[in-house]
Structure 1
Amino acid sequence: MARPDPDILKRAQAGDRDALDALLRPEMDRVFATCRRMVGSRQDAEELAQDALVKVIRGLPTYDGRASLSTWMTRVTINSCLSWMRSRARKSDQRPISLDYPDTLAGEPAPVSGVQDDDDTTRPRVERALEGLKPEHRAILVLRDVRELDYEAIGSALDLPIGTVKSRLFRARVALRGVLEEGDRATVDRAEDI
């Protein structure tokens, strides 16, 4: 998203509903899509997207423009998702994540690196593997490989230096690879037992 019109931004920060609508409407699909990629469940994603948008509206008066509005909103959204995921992990009531969401939300679904939409075996394996990752690893993979953000935008969204983004992304990919390889070994072991 390009930088918002300064007049619309000021009016939105002052509480003008029309300006707020003009400012946030272009971002709403991206907020939902990010939540959906992070938590999987459509119902949970809808609730989280609504929660994130409420936080954006409440925080808008303090938005200072250092980061783009889109990046700032992504940060609020990811933080909401991570908090929710941590609370769910504490309750040990994890739900499966799905990489699919309706095309009408934010254009065509973004590709996950190395995963083709028509690959009937790889996609479910990656979805299961993502379930096993720490929320921070899942977040950085979603931002880079699904949302296709560059390192600078990820750093702004997660409030991290670019070097840390790169190292965390590397560790997240290593963790994902490990979970995928572990699943492959388990499949081979079961096949050998037959």
Structure 2
Amino acid sequence: MIRFDAQQVVAAREGNRSALDAVVRAAERPVFNLAVRMLASRADAEDATQEILVKIITNLGSIRDLEAAGAWAFKIACRHLVHERKRGAIEAMQLSFEGFAVDLETGLSPLSDLGLNEIEAKLAIDQVKIGCTLAMLVCLSRELRIAYILCDIFEVTDTEAAEILEIDPAAYRQRLRRARSAVTAFVTRSCGLVSESAPCRCQRRVGQAVRVSRIVKGQSDLQAASRGVPSLDEIRRRIGLLERGRASAALMRSNPEFTSQIGPLAMFMADAKSFVSNPSEKG
């Protein structure tokens, strides 16, 4: 969720540049992390984050309840990603759980064949795991995807999520059940981190990922925050302690918090003095 300082919001609406910068910085990381999980691509998530931040900046003057400004901004982000954002590169692949399961079993090979050093191997495995879990989400429709992300990854309550998405709580819970059922069935059948009997293992997917340029040796497409990424053994240990349905959510939450540098660009595109509505114009 997004948390704003109400006084900074007031100052930003009055044209205070440093206050607006603080507001943008408070929104940037939550918005980007939501966009990454919705679009499964850094480039698409950065574009979407920029679009959303500009919307937030240019509409600050419309906020009526300053204490709820963060929830208002998060609602803008969700609405944009579900209903307005054009289809991204990963979404254009029209992935299904059935097709993705087949893809995961294609080209499995020993990690040792690639001749990677220890650091390169860990980075590659992390990238495969992150890319795979993000692709799983794209197998869901946008409506089911956002329902799953809000509750099982961002841990928003069903009442809060229904309000954010502006739908009836019963409708939200139905979407969440459908999304959970689909994700749980898939990871139980296909993911070796969740099920010992599943065929796929992250380390055995690295070779195929390199061959088709999904990852590049020694490079990370999605930069993580400094707190780091748990090892596969640690993820597997944590998941093993949980019941089946919760294990799927734990797998998704094992991804790191991602970082970006979109805020300054959004500020450039929506200059505070020119675009932020005067507080006196609020309804």
Report the TM-score when normalising by structure 2: 0.47
Residues 131-169 of structure 1: CA deviation (Å, up to 9, x unaligned): 221111111111111111122331232122333322221
> Unaligned regions of 5+ residues in structure 1, if any?
97-117, 189-194
Partner of 1:99: none
Distance of aligned partners of 1:179 and 1:50 in 2 relative to their CA distance in 1, 3 Å threshold: same
Cα contact 2:38–2:138 (8 A) shared by 1 = no
Cα contact 1:140–1:154 (8 A) shared by 2 = yes
Cα contact 2:37–2:149 (8 A) shared by 1 = yes
2:87 counterpart SS class: helix
Partner of 1:23: 23
Residues 69-108 of structure 1: CA deviation (Å, up to 9, x unaligned): 22222211122222356x428xx72387xxxxxxxxxxxx
* Aligned positions of 1:65-144 closer than 5 A: 65=65, 68-83=68-83, 87-88=86-87, 93-94=92-93, 126-144=133-151
Distance of aligned partners of 1:121 and 1:50 in 2 relative to their CA distance in 1, 3 Å threshold: closer
Residues 3-54 of structure 1: CA deviation (Å, up to 9, x unaligned): 623x322222233222212223122111111111110111111111010000
Alignment pair present for 1:58 and 2:58 = yes
Letter in 2 for 1:9: V
Letter in 2 for 1:170: R
Letter in 2 for 1:71: A
Q: Which has the higher contact order (CA 8 A, sep 6+)?
A: 2
Please give the alpha-carbon distance, in whole angstroms, between the structure 2 residues aligned to 1:126 and 1:18.
37
Partner of 2:172: 165
Aligned length: 161
Q: Which moved more, 1:159-168 or 1:132-141?
A: 159-168
Letter in 1 for 2:33: A
Choose 1 or 2 for highest CA Rg.
2
Q: Percent identity?
A: 25
Distance of aligned partners of 1:10 and 1:163 in 2 relative to their CA distance in 1, 3 Å threshold: same
Distance of aligned partners of 1:31 and 1:164 in 2 relative to their CA distance in 1, 3 Å threshold: same
* CA-CA distance at 1:129 after TM superposition: 3.5
1:88 counterpart SS class: coil
